[in-house]
Structure 1
Amino acid sequence: MSEKSIQAAETFKSGFNCSQSVLSVFADEFGLSKDSCLRLASPFGSGIARMQETCGAVTGALMAIGLKFGKGEHGQEADKAHAYKLSQELISKFKDKNKSICCRDLLDGLDINTPEGMAEIQKRDLFKCNCYKYVQEAVLITEAILSERTK
């Protein structure tokens, strides 16, 4: 584990969602405040707005990749292509470890939006057992991608 992955897990345990927990540990690297990153990533938790689509840990990681490599106002198409390539690498590595990037799949097919689904998730402590690990893995993969590549 890295310092950032531990910090992200602590952020998650303190009540922030998976996306917030991942993106916020990269705030300093991009000259952003932790609070700005927490706000930005807020709607992406629980598979984007609790829709259980793309895992929030993955979306937080993708935002970090975009901040470093994405196409900005004065960027070029090559920047966008590079960010896509690195994002695909992140997704592939996350899938290799976890079989999916879909929040619902990662929570064993349970629906967080139904009382029954949430009760089962809580009974099995899946947020702690599963999501805690996904947050840490997303950070580790992102750290490797950010450190191996230059813009």
Structure 2
Amino acid sequence: MDDLSLRLFKFSSEGFCCAQIMYKLALEDEDTKNDDLIRSAQGLCRGIADTQKTCGVLTGGIGVLGLYGAKGNESEDAKEDFAHMVHEFHTWFKTEFGTTKCVTLIGERDFTSADQSFKPICAGMIQKAYVKVYEILQEHGYEYGNRG
């Protein structure tokens, strides 16, 4: 098992969802923590608010791009390439996985049940998406893991 797979397994075992894991991976690569950000991402879990609509891997990936390129305070603007990066990732995601809908990606689920059979599907998507986010940032001249 490679390093990314081990990290994914660890975060999933700790009860984090797809969107949270995308953020946790990015923050860990910066050697930083932000519990408030991770908490806020929980509402994106399981297709936004457990509705199985827009996939948490997609929203989490867009969020990671936002850490690098989005507006963060009143004295700054979003970076010029931010919207393009988001569009590029969204287009790639839809092409790669065929949809952006959680229910289509993992099937209809009762998340209150003990059935966790969807987790390997999500893990595979997280791995591919995380690498794609990294590639997009690199292509746009960002030094991944160093936003400072």
TM-score by shorter chain over 0.5: yes
Amino acid at match of 1:88: H
How many equivalent pairs are there? 141
- Could you tell me the percent identity over the aligned residues? 25
Look up the match of 1:75: 76
What is the rounded CA distance, in whole Å, between the counterparts of 1:45 and 1:133 in structure 2? 16
* 8 Å contact from structure 2 (residues 70, 77) kept in 1: no
Deviations 1:31-82 (CA, angstroms, capped at 9, x unpaired) = 75153332121111101110111111111111111110012322336x2x52
Task: Indicate the structure with greater helix content.
Answer: 1
* 8 Å contact from structure 1 (residues 28, 34) kept in 2: no
Amino acid at match of 2:98: K
- 1:149, CA displacement in angstroms? 1.4
Classify the secondary structure of the residue corresponding to 1:89: helix
Look up the match of 2:27: 27
* 8 Å contact from structure 1 (residues 5, 137) kept in 2: no
Amino acid at match of 1:54: T
Classify the secondary structure of the residue corresponding to 2:81: helix
- 1:126, CA displacement in angstroms? 2.2
Gapped runs of 5+ residues in structure 2?
143-148
* 8 Å contact from structure 1 (residues 30, 68) kept in 2: no
Amino acid at match of 1:127: K
Equivalences for residues 1-151 of structure 1 within 5 A: 3-4=3-4, 6-28=6-28, 32-72=32-72, 73-76=74-77, 79=79, 82-108=81-107, 110-112=108-110, 122=115, 125-128=117-120, 130-150=121-141
After TM superposition, the score normalised by the length of structure 1 is 0.77
Classify the secondary structure of the residue corresponding to 2:38: helix
Classify the secondary structure of the residue corresponding to 2:15: coil
Coordinate RMSD, CA, aligned = 2.7
What is the rounded CA distance, in whole Å, between the counterparts of 1:6 and 1:85 in structure 2? 31
* 8 Å contact from structure 1 (residues 5, 136) kept in 2: yes
Gapped runs of 5+ residues in structure 1?
none
What is the rounded CA distance, in whole Å, between the counterparts of 1:43 and 1:112 in structure 2? 17
